[in-house]
Amino acid sequence: MSELESVIRKLEALDHRITPSRVAVIASVLAQSGHFSVEDVLRQARAVGRATVFRTMRLLTDLDVVCRVLLDDGSLHYRVSRRGHHHHLVCVSCGNARDLDECAVGDLVRELAAATEYEIEGHWLEFYGRCAACRSPVAVAARA
Amino acid sequence: MSELESVIRKLEALDHRITPSRVAVIASVLAQSGHFSVEDVLRQARAVGRATVFRTMRLLTDLDVVCRVLLDDGSLHYRVSRRGHHHHLVCVSCGNARDLDECAVGDLVRELAAATEYEIEGHWLEFYGRCAACRSPVAVAARA
DNA sequence: CATGACAGTGATACTTGGTATCAGTGAGAC
DNA sequence: GTCTCACTGATACCAAGTATCACTGTCATG
Ligand SMILES: [Mn+2]
Ligand SMILES: [Mn+2]
Ligand SMILES: [Zn+2]
Ligand SMILES: [Zn+2]
Within 7 A of a protein CB, which nucleotides of strand D?
6-12, 15-20, 25-27
Domains A1-82 and A84-144 alike in fold: no
pLDDT value, residue A84: 86
Does residue B76 lie within 7 Å of nucleic acid chain D, judged by its CB? yes
CATH topology of domain A84-144: Dna Ligase; domain 1 (3.30.1490)
* Any strand D atom closer than 7 Å to A86 CB: no
Q: Relative to the alpha carbon of A35, which ligand is closest?
A: 1
Three-class secondary structure of residue B80 per DSSP? strand
> How many beta carbons lie within 10 A of that of residue A106, not counting itself?
11
Distance in Å, alpha carbon of B92 to nearest chain A alpha carbon: 9
- Residues B118-130 have pLDDT tens digits of 999 999 999 999 9
Judged by CB atoms closer than 8 Å, whether chains meet at B113 and A129 is answered as: yes
pLDDT of residue A52: 98
Which residues of chain B are within 8 Å of residue A117 when distances are taken between CB atoms?
A: 131-132
Of A38, A60, A59, the closest CA to residue A49 belongs to A38
Contact across the interface for A128 and B122, Cβ inside 8 Å: yes
> Is the Cα torsion angle A42, A43, A48, A50 positive or negative in sign?
positive
- Whole-angstrom distance, CA of residue B91 vs CA of residue B75: 14
Nearest CA in chain B to A99: B116
Residue B92 to residue A121, Cβ atoms within 8 A = yes
CB-closest option in B118, B126, B132 to A129:
B118
Give the helix ranges, DSSP H, for chain B.
3-13, 20-31, 38-44, 50-62, 106-116, 132-135, 137-143
- Phi-psi category of B22—alpha, beta or left, where left has phi over 0 and alpha has psi -120 to 50? alpha
User: What fold characterizes domain B1-82?
Assistant: Arc Repressor Mutant, subunit A (1.10.10)
Nearest neighbour of A108 by CB, restricted to B91, B104, B131:
B104
pLDDT by residue for chain A (144 residues), tens only, comes to 899 999 999 999 999 999 999 999 999 999 999 999 999 999 999 999 999 999 999 999 999 999 999 998 999 999 999 888 999 999 998 888 999 988 989 999 999 999 999 999 999 999 999 999 998 866 556 655
| Angle made by CA atoms A71, A72, A78, in degrees to the nearest 5 | 5
User: What are the boundaries of each domain within chain B?
Assistant: 1-82, 84-144
Residue A120 to residue B135, Cβ atoms within 8 A? no
- The pLDDT value recorded for residue B123 is 94
Is nucleic acid strand D under 7 Å from A132's C-beta?
no
Name the pTM for this structure: 0.88
Of B121, B127, B135, the CB nearest to A129: B121
Cα(B144)–Cα(A104) distance, integer angstroms = 37
Instruction: Please identify every stretch of chain B with a pLDDT value under 50, giving residue numbers as ranges.
Output: none
For B78-107, b/e burial (b = at least 16 CB within 10 A) is bbbbeeeeebbbbbbbeeebbebeeebbee
